[in-house]
């Protein structure tokens, strides 16, 4: 069964029957006839390959599969918040929201552009407002359209999770976990965790999306990313929950033949001011640590002529110039071993940064997602231990 096969009215009927215990009671709640509910539940059971209720003379007893489905469906229906909406309309609208044009939505869904136009128009009518706005020759989401798109994406995430939960109940493994990877998670922690998880659960797909915090926070917010891993921000929005994994101490790094190679003893702030620096943008944790480093050395942080957050680009600029930077040892272990770059020691003072995981506060992980998160915790613990040993 696929998400698009769900009938939202039948899902509402399942949740009502589970709550009330009878088809007749549910019929009054969801405004469907008893035969329509009975047929809808039977169709869902055939598609899922397992019963949702045990039929008894005194009513309907939900099975474990029903409890799993109903719990997710209740959240999804609350997010959708319209009885006049269909999965076809949701699919069409989210495809447009993702691609930005009806042509791209048609390519993604296989539906005709005429069908997509009609479905999005019907969805707008269901929500009683304008979801798209024309700007010249382009159509863009209105503010209301953006909010509804986010809610619908989260609803789809819940329904996808329901299918994963039910498949696991039947001994089958399906589903996908999407991880947002910021720079410090990519070097060793995430690769190790992903390798371990895949060895345990080869039937669960994994997708890694690389980017900065600014690039990944919106996908996390609307469910396109399940877990965000990287340097934690000092302040996190109430809609997110963070969990520290390990502490990282950045190193002062330059090319192997850098003039600073004769540095000895305590780090001299004035010596560090003699060379240009390449560091990430002002809103990043590493840029904050870099500024604090100079403050603790009694100097004013210099002007940064090159702002860059790409590890590969920073490496090449360092090799070709006298620039310095701050980087994690794990990010440049290969370059240090190859002799391309050199570390001049850890940044002076207490300038560590916390690397951790960020999830939505209302995220309800599947069993497989819980296992991935457990491996992430274990990986963080072992990583912290290896840092202490070094």
Per-residue pLDDT of 65-84, as tens digits, reads: 999 999 999 999 999 999 89
* Residue pLDDT, tens place only, 33-71: 999 999 999 999 999 999 999 999 888 999 999 999 999
pLDDT surpassing 50 at residue 293: yes
Q: What percentage of the chain has pLDDT greater than the value 70?
A: 96
Comparing CA positions, the residue from 91, 97, 90 lying closest to residue 219 is: 97
Predicted pLDDT at 384: 56
pLDDT confidence of residue 386: 46
Chain centroid to CA 98: how far?
Answer: 15
CA distance 240 to 290: 26
Q: How far apart are CA 304 and CA 281, in angstroms?
A: 9
Average predicted confidence (pLDDT) for the chain: 90
Q: Average pLDDT in the 162-185 region? A: 90
Task: Give the pLDDT confidence score for residue 390 in this predicted structure.
Answer: 43
d(CA 353, CA 345): 16
Q: What is the pLDDT of residue 248?
A: 85
Give the confidence band of 383 by pLDDT, cuts at 50, 70, 90: low
- Judged against a pLDDT cut of 50, whether residue 387 lies above it is answered with no
Q: How many CB atoms lie within 10 A of CB 359?
A: 18
* Distances in whole angstroms, Cα of residue 257 to Cα of each of 44, 110, 185, 310: 68, 57, 29, 22
Q: What is the mean pLDDT of residues 190-205?
A: 94
Report pLDDT for 1.
87
Task: Please give the pLDDT value at position 389.
Answer: 36
Q: How confident is the model at residue 137 (pLDDT cuts 50, 70, 90)?
A: confident
d(CA 49, CA 61): 18
List the structure tokens of 325. 């930077």
Site of tokens 């000895």: 264
Q: What is the reported pLDDT for 254?
A: 93
- Summarised one tens digit per residue, pLDDT across range 75-110 is 999 999 998 999 999 999 999 999 999 999 999 999
Token match 């070094």: residue?
390
The pLDDT of 264-272, averaged and rounded, is: 74
pLDDT at 205: 96
In angstroms, the CA 269 to CA 324 distance is: 13
- pLDDT the model gives residue 203: 93
Residue pair 245/379 in contact by the 8 Å Cβ criterion: yes
Tokens standing for residue 110: 């296989």
The pLDDT tens digits for 297-337 are 889 999 999 999 888 899 999 999 999 999 888 788 889 98
Average pLDDT in the 190-213 region? 93
The pLDDT value recorded for residue 266 is: 65
Residue 159: pLDDT over 80: yes
The whole-number pLDDT of residue 262 equals: 61
Q: Residue 235: which H helix or E strand, with range?
A: none
């Amino acid at each position: 069964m696929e998400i698009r096969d769900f009938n939202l009215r039948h899902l509402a009927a399942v949740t009502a029957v589970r709550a009330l215990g009878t088809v007749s009671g549910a019929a009054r709640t969801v405004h469907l006839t008893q035969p329509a509910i009975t047929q809808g539940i039977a169709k869902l059971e055939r598609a899922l390959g397992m019963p949702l209720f045990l039929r008894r003379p005194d009513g309907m007893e939900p099975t474990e599969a029903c409890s799993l489905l109903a719990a997710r469906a209740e959240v999804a229906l609350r997010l959708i918040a319209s009885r006049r909406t269909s999965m076809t309309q949701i699919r069409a609208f989210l495809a447009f929201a993702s691609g930005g044009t009806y042509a791209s939505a048609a390519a993604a869904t296989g539906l005709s552009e005429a069908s997509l136009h009609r479905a999005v128009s019907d969805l707008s009518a269901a929500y009683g407002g304008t979801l798209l706005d024309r700007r010249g020759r382009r159509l863009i989401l209105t503010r209301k359209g953006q909010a509804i798109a986010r809610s619908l994406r989260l609803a789809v995430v819940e329904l996808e999770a329901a299918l994963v939960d039910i498949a696991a109940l039947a001994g089958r493994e399906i589903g996908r976990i999407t991880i947002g990877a910021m720079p410090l998670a990519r070097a060793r922690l995430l690769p190790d965790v992903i390798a371990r998880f895949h060895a345990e659960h080869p039937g669960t797909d994994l997708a890694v999306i690389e980017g900065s915090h600014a690039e990944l926070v919106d996908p996390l917010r609307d469910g396109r990313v399940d877990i965000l891993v990287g340097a934690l921000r000092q302040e996190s929005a109430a809609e997110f929950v963070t969990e520290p994994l390990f502490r990282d101490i950045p190193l002062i790094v330059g090319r192997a033949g850098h003039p600073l190679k004769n540095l000895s003893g305590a780090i001299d702030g004035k010596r560090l001011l003699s060379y240009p620096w390449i560091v990430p943008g002002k809103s990043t944790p590493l840029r904050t640590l870099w500024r604090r480093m100079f403050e603790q050395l009694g100097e004013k942080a210099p002007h940064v002529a090159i702002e860059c957050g790409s590890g590969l680009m920073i490496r090449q600029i360092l090799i070709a110039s006298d620039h310095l930077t701050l980087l994690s040892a794990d990010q440049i272990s290969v370059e240090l071993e190859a002799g391309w770059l050199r570390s001049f020691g850890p940044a002076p003072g207490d300038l560590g940064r916390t690397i951790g995981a960020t999830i939505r506060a209302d995220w309800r992980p599947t069993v497989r997602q819980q296992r991935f998160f457990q491996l992430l915790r274990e990986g963080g613990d072992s990583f912290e231990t290896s840092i202490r040993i070094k």
